[in-house]
A and B are shown apart, each in its own frame.
Chain A
Amino acid sequence: MRRVLLFTPLALVLILGVMLYNGIGKDPNRLESALIGKPVPYFELASLEDPGQILRNEVFEGKVVLLNVWGTWCPACRVEHPDLVWLAEEKGIPIIGLNYKDNRDEAIRWLQTLGDPYETNLFDPDGRLGFDLGVYGAPETFIVDRRGIIRYKHVGVVDERVWREELKPRIQAYEQEVY
Chain B
Amino acid sequence: MRVATLVLTLLLGMSAAHATIDIYPLESDADRQRFQVLTKELRCPKCQNQNIADSNAPIAQDMRDEVHRLLVDGNTDEQIVDAMIARFGEFVTYRPVFDRRTALLWLTPVLVLLIGMGVVIGLVVRSRAQASLPPRTLSLEERQRAEDLLK
A positions within 8 Å CB-CB of B = 28-29, 31-35, 101, 127, 131-137
Residue B66 lies at the interface, judged by CB distance under 8 Å to chain A: yes
Contact across chains for A34 and B46 when beta carbons are under 8 A apart: no
B positions within 8 Å CB-CB of A = 45-46, 48, 58-59, 62, 66, 85-91
10 closest A-B pairs by CB = A34-B89, A136-B45, A134-B87, A134-B88, A136-B46, A136-B59, A31-B91, A131-B62, A137-B46, A31-B89
Contact across chains for B58 and A101 when beta carbons are under 8 A apart: yes
| 15 A-B pairs in the complex with CB atoms less than 8 angstroms apart | A28-B48, A31-B89, A34-B86, A34-B89, A34-B90, A35-B86, A35-B87, A101-B58, A131-B66, A132-B87, A133-B87, A134-B87, A134-B89, A136-B59, A137-B59
**Nearest opposing residue in chain A for B61, CB measure:** A127
* Known A-B contacts A131-B66, A136-B45, A137-B46; A31 and B88 likewise in contact (beta carbons under 8 Å): yes
The complex places the Cα of A111 from the Cα of B140 at a distance, in Å, of: 103
Chain B residues with Cβ below 8 Å from A133 are 87
Contact across chains for A131 and B46 when beta carbons are under 8 A apart: no
Contact across chains for B89 and A33 when beta carbons are under 8 A apart: yes
The complex places the Cα of A137 from the Cα of B66 at a distance, in Å, of: 17
Extra pairs beyond A101-B58, A127-B62, A136-B59 (14, CB < 8 Å): A28-B48, A31-B89, A31-B91, A32-B89, A34-B87, A35-B86, A131-B87, A133-B87, A134-B88, A134-B89, A135-B59, A136-B45, A137-B46, A137-B59
The complex places the Cα of A31 from the Cα of B46 at a distance, in Å, of: 10
**Nearest opposing residue in chain A for B65, CB measure:** A131
Q: Distance (Å) between the CB of B102 and the closest chain A CB?
A: 14
The complex places the Cα of A107 from the Cα of B78 at a distance, in Å, of: 38
Contact across chains for A29 and B88 when beta carbons are under 8 A apart: no
**Nearest opposing residue in chain B for A36, CB measure:** B89
The complex places the Cα of A31 from the Cα of B48 at a distance, in Å, of: 11
**Nearest opposing residue in chain A for B66, CB measure:** A131
Q: Distance (Å) between the CB of B60 and the closest chain A CB?
A: 9
Q: Determine which residue in A133, A135, A136, A137 has the highest number of CB atoms from chain B within 10 A of its CB, and name it.
A: A136
Q: Distance (Å) between the CB of A152 and the closest chain B CB?
A: 14
The complex places the Cα of A135 from the Cα of B89 at a distance, in Å, of: 11
Q: Distance (Å) between the CB of A16 and the closest chain B CB?
A: 13
Chain B residues with Cβ below 8 Å from A132 are 87
The complex places the Cα of A155 from the Cα of B46 at a distance, in Å, of: 11
Chain B residues with Cβ below 8 Å from A135 are 59
**Nearest opposing residue in chain B for A29, CB measure:** B48
Contact across chains for A31 and B45 when beta carbons are under 8 A apart: yes
Contact across chains for A34 and B88 when beta carbons are under 8 A apart: yes
Q: Distance (Å) between the CB of B21 and the closest chain A CB?
A: 23
**Nearest opposing residue in chain B for A126, CB measure:** B62
Q: Distance (Å) between the CB of A13 and the closest chain B CB?
A: 17
The complex places the Cα of A133 from the Cα of B48 at a distance, in Å, of: 18
Q: Distance (Å) between the CB of B30 and the closest chain A CB?
A: 27
**Nearest opposing residue in chain B for A137, CB measure:** B46
Contact across chains for B59 and A34 when beta carbons are under 8 A apart: no
Q: Determine which residue in B62, B66, B91 has the highest number of CB atoms from chain A within 10 A of its CB, and name it.
A: B62
